Structure 1
Amino acid sequence: MAKIVVVFHSGYGHTQRLAAQIASGADAELLAIDAEGNLPEGGWERLAAADAIVMGSPTYMGTVSWQFKKFADASSKAWFTQQWKDKVFAGFTNSATMNGDKLSTLHYLFTLAMQHSGIWVGTGMMPSNTKAAGRNDLNYVGSFSGAMAQTPSDASVDEIPPGDLETFRQFGKRVAEATARIRG
């Protein structure tokens, strides 16, 4: 079975809940970046041993949080030796508005994965974009590049729409299936 790690920063708990959904679908382990932008003890070793790395950050001011950026900059040690070359990568984000410039965050994560010579996996999901579609449908936010969720700024972690939660779980499943095919 493929070893998948979901590495993420969560400012208010929403991104953490979404990361847990991905981990549930992918049978993956969670690796949280702390409030100071650091990984826990053994975190770098867990990433080195992974077949796939799913990266996540809330979208703040049109990109990843500074804590995630600190992690990304520190990953240059793995980049220098191409330690993560040919690993499977995927990404996810959340913001308070429907657009919220989340695609900028996913582009950042994609670029980081490509710099590490990784293989990117998108959602593989059609959007829910008919008149009959509702907020709780699968991939209602309509992302192909990675998983996106929208949670109002005054909503609690428990108020993330069920459709977004299921989108993230299905995304995790897709990452696991793609990793099994690619990494064999």
Structure 2
Amino acid sequence: MPDVRIAVVYHSGYGHTGRQAEAVKAGAEQVPGAQALLLTVAEAQTRWDELAAADAIVFGAPTYMAGPSAAFKAFEEATSRAVMARGFAWRDKIAAGFTNSGAQSGDKLATLIQLALFAAQHGMHWVGLDLPPANNSTGGSPADLNRLGFWLGAGAQSNVDQGPDAAPPESDLATARHLGRRVAETTLRFVRGRAA
């Protein structure tokens, strides 16, 4: 039995955000005692009990038109009946988020804010990226973690003329793995502290 279970729930329109989700899961599973479960938003809506049993949920969506995709919004709205009708079933779970878009900024912050507000509505504890912004000086590089400079969650950028086999770049996937590890480590501390 793992010490903590972390669910990664995401929507990916073209596969790029899916690669980011896989990186978050891989990062979480690098932490001894953590097990991660990867669910698309469609799968998640048939597995509410597994989400209720998770200690943390990491939410991911592409940024379309300055916010999460419609498919992710539909999942958010479905939680009002499936989760909130049971009381605050997700209260005190750890939460975090990630997003991807074609532009370097792409209004990804608006999506991360929406994800954080969604988690707050469920009484969850949000975990930020905890990485300084990078690639912001002459000594910086596009290969740096958090090259896009987000604090609230992991941001990735995928060139619109590249498929998910080539984008997002490795630095963004490494940033997503960092987020997964951070969530797993934070969740372990939280769960063990609560047990003590």
Preserved CA contact (<8 Å) 1:87 1:119: yes
Aligned: 1:134 with 2:141: yes
Give identity over the alignment, percent: 46
Q: Which runs of structure 1 show a deviation greater than 3 angstroms over 4 or more consecutive aligned residues? A: none
- Name the count of aligned residue pairs: 180
**Over aligned residues, Cα RMSD in angstroms?**
1.2
Give the Cα–Cα distance (whole angstroms) in 2 for the partners of residues 57 and 174 of structure 1.
Answer: 19
Q: 1:109 to 1:86 in 2, by over 3 A?
A: same
Match of 2:24 among 22, 25, 29: 22
Aligned: 1:39 with 2:43: yes
Gaps of 5+ in 2: 30-35
Aligned pairs (5 A) from 1:43-82: 43-77=47-81, 78-80=83-85, 81-82=87-88
Aligned pairs (5 A) from 1:83-102: 83-102=89-108
Q: 1:91 to 1:153 in 2, by over 3 A?
A: same
Deviation per residue, 1:96-127 (Å, 9 max, x gap): 00110000000100000000000000001111
Preserved CA contact (<8 Å) 1:7 1:30: yes
- Give the CA deviation at 1:40: 5.3
The TM-score, its normalising length taken from structure 2, stands at 0.89
Preserved CA contact (<8 Å) 1:79 1:115: no
Give the Cα–Cα distance (whole angstroms) in 2 for the partners of residues 157 and 39 of structure 1.
Answer: 21
The TM-score, its normalising length taken from structure 1, stands at 0.94
- Give the CA deviation at 1:79: 2.3
Equivalent AA in structure 1 for residue 108 of structure 2 = K
- Give the CA deviation at 1:39: 2.7
